[in-house]
Chain A
Amino acid sequence: MASLTHKDLLGIEQLSVDDVELVLDTAAALKEVADRPVKKVPTLRGKTVINLFFEPSTRTRSSFELAEKRLSADILNFAASTSSVSKGETLLDTARNLESMAPDMIVIRHPSAGAPHLLSRECRSSIINAGDGMHEHPTQALLDALTVREVKGGISGLKIAIIGDVAHSRVARSDTILFSKLGAEVWACSPPTLMPWDFCRLGARITGHIEEALDSADVVMMLRVQTERQHEAFFPSTREYFNFYGLTRERMKLAKEDTVVMHPGPMNRGVEIDSDVADAPWSLILNQVANGVAVRMAILYLLSGNAGLRPRRVR
């Protein structure tokens, strides 16, 4: 017997190594559902899940929606652009209104860090963080860990290079916390303008040189250059960025021979990653997408029935 004793999934920070192993083992068992003729199990029948997305998202939202449907949950989709948020309603009021509809779980993506934490304190339902500002994106990190574990057999002792727009990436944050927690050696690499000064506190080694990050790396995690979050010029041009920080076939020679390449998507080909690197056999980008559904099913399954538990204090 095993269970997650959390009411919510707010971030990787709150999870223990045992919690993570449980999520990954459960996700691995759930992958089989996708190969069935009837890709559906009745586990969450009668449960209501609200998908509350305040930011555009295709991949994460469809992945959550598919996971919910495969577990037979009832789904309500809210997009900020079509809801009362555009009429000036506050997040708290939106949350209280949704809570009155008695959902069991709320999946939230929000441009502000901490939005899911606010909901967690206000709502009885389980809150799942699907990305909050530049803070965390826990389900992405968990699916990354599952993908690496499948291919490498384990995570402890691996050198994992996270390269790109670290400052604006919640994936970089969640991945760094998770992979460090699981015993990997995490390197974060970006132009100095895109590296938060205290990023090493999360357990990563910092470098400004892609060659140093790639040297003997087992896993190369490329990050998208998030132009929509960059309100000032962090580098002169995308061409210069590619010249210094783009992943090319030539640079891949620095990494281990059996290295793998990952990317949380959507990719900017020719900005952070060269096309022939993205499409080569070492690329696990599509495995990540397939594992995303399984990991989200695992989280929904493990948190179902936990609504009403006392929210964990966030340090």
Chain B
Amino acid sequence: MTKKADGKVLMTAEEMDLALSRIAAEIVEKLGTRGEFGIIGIRRRGVHLAQRLSRKVEAILHQPTLNGILDITLYRDDLTTVSNRPLLRETSIDFDVNNLSLVLVDDVLYTGRTIRAALDGLVDLGRPKRVQLAVLIDRGHRELPIQADYVGKHVQTADDEIVEVRMKEEDEEERVVLVKNPSVRTGA
């Protein structure tokens, strides 16, 4: 993100942290206190959210969690229409996903196409016991039958708006804002 248009603030840094703490507690509640699950972040911002979630889960369980990074570029359904293609980065999941519960983490759930691609990517790595989805923001407008298991905040949005999750790992600031999109985008 290079341009930082000011918009309506949806979540402050404190609210983001509180939401992540709640999601971490919910994950432990649903998937068990023995920590037999992996947390996988979707590039790019999902990775930082997954790392923060893992640290919070570790603090609850007092044991290390399994952590991975998924790059979904190769699984996108719009590659032929994207002339400026996203930079491909490495997928790095160094544990066996077979028979393991997994939590996919992304920043914003919108059309659902990113998650569709992520599920395809995960299946190529093995047969997980179950896959759940955690997102910081659910902004509606789904184009596929996909729902999140853990949501930081539900937000009503219009098609010509963009939800920007700004995190200190990638941006200068830490908050979630809603900005107007000058060129209305379609698809994921």
Q: Do A and B bind each other?
A: yes
Residue of A nearest to B86 (CB): A1
- B120 CB within 8 Å of chain A: yes
Instruction: Say yes or no: is A187 at the interface (Cβ < 8 Å to chain B).
Output: no
**Closest beta carbon of chain B to A29's beta carbon, Å:** 4
Determine whether the beta carbon of B124 is less than 8 Å from that of A40: yes
Considering only residues 18-75 of chain A, those with a C-beta below 8 Å from chain B are 22, 25-26, 28-33, 36-38, 40-43, 71
- Tell me whether A43 and B85 are in contact (CB under 8 A): no
Stretch in contact with the other chain, from A169-177, A246-254, A300-308: A300-308
Is there an interface contact between B85 and A2, defined as CB atoms closer than 8 Å? yes
**Contacting pair A305 B85 (CB below 8 A):** yes
Interface 0/1 of B118-146, CB less than 8 Å to A: 00110011100000000000000000000
CB pair B79 A305 closer than 8 Å? yes
Count: A-B pairs, CB below 8 Å: 58
Report the minimum CB–CB distance from B69 to chain A (whole Å). Answer: 10
Taking the complex as formed, is B80 at the interface, i.e. its CB lies under 8 A from any CB of chain A?
yes
List, in ascending order, chain A residues with CB within 8 A of B71's CB.
29
- The answer to the question of B14 belonging to the interface, with a C-beta cut-off of 8 Å to chain A, is no
User: B188 an interface residue at 8 Å Cβ cutoff?
Assistant: no
Contact B86 A32, beta carbon cutoff 8 Å: no
Other-chain contact of B89, A29, A38, A40, A43 (Cβ < 8 Å):
A29
Cα distance A301–B76 in the bound complex, in angstroms: 12
Asked if B126 contacts A42 (CB within 8 A), the reply is: no
Q: Are A42 and B85 in contact (CB under 8 A)?
A: no
Query: Are B74's CB and A43's CB within 8 A?
Result: yes
A226 interface contact, C-beta 8 A: no
| Chain B residues, CB < 8 A from A33 | 74
In the assembled complex, the Cα of A305 lies from the Cα of B82 at a distance in Å of 8
CB-contact partner of A2 in B75, B80, B84, B90, under 8 A: B84
| Residue of B74, B81, B86, B87 touching A42 (CB-CB under 8 A) | B74
B158 CB → nearest A CB, Å: 24
B90 touches A29 (CB 8 A): yes
Contact A29 B88 (CB under 8 A): yes
CB distance from A106 to the nearest CB of B (A): 18
CB distance from A20 to the nearest CB of B (A): 15
Residue A3, interface by CB 8 Å: yes
Q: Residues of A contacting B85 with CB < 8 Å?
A: 1-3, 302, 305
Q: Does B157 reach chain A (CB closer than 8 Å)?
A: no
Compute how far the CA of A42 lies from the CA of B119 in the bound complex, rounded to whole angstroms: 13
Encode contact with A along B72-106: 1 for CB under 8 Å, 0 otherwise: 00110001111111111111100000000000000
Residues A36 and B124 in contact, CB atoms below 8 Å apart: yes
Inter-chain contact B91/A32, CB cutoff 8 Å = yes
**Minimal Cβ-Cβ distance residue in B for A309:** B83
Docked CA distance A37–B127 (Å): 11
Contact present for B84 and A28 (CB under 8 Å): no
Closest chain A residue, CB of each to CB of B125:
A36
Could you tell me the distance between the alpha carbons of A305 and B77 in the complex, rounded to whole angstroms?
13
In the docked arrangement, what's the CA distance between A298 and B74, Å? Answer: 11
Q: Which residue of A lies closest to B76 (CB)?
A: A43
Residues of chain A in range 67-124 having any CB-CB distance to chain B below 8 Å: 71
Task: Give A39's nearest chain B residue, CB to CB.
Answer: B124
Given pairs A1-B85, A3-B85, A28-B90, 5 additional interface contacts (CB within 8 A): A2-B87, A25-B88, A29-B71, A29-B88, A40-B124
Q: Which 10 A-B pairs have the closest CB atoms?
A: A41-B74, A29-B90, A43-B74, A38-B124, A1-B84, A29-B88, A3-B85, A305-B80, A26-B88, A2-B87
Contact surface of B with A, Cβ cutoff 8 Å: 71, 74-75, 79-92, 120-121, 124-126
Task: Name 27 A/B residue pairs within 8 A (Cβ), A-sorted.
Answer: A1-B84, A1-B86, A1-B87, A2-B84, A2-B87, A22-B87, A28-B90, A29-B89, A29-B90, A30-B88, A31-B90, A32-B90, A33-B74, A36-B124, A37-B125, A40-B124, A41-B124, A42-B74, A42-B75, A71-B74, A302-B85, A304-B79, A304-B80, A305-B79, A305-B82, A305-B83, A305-B85
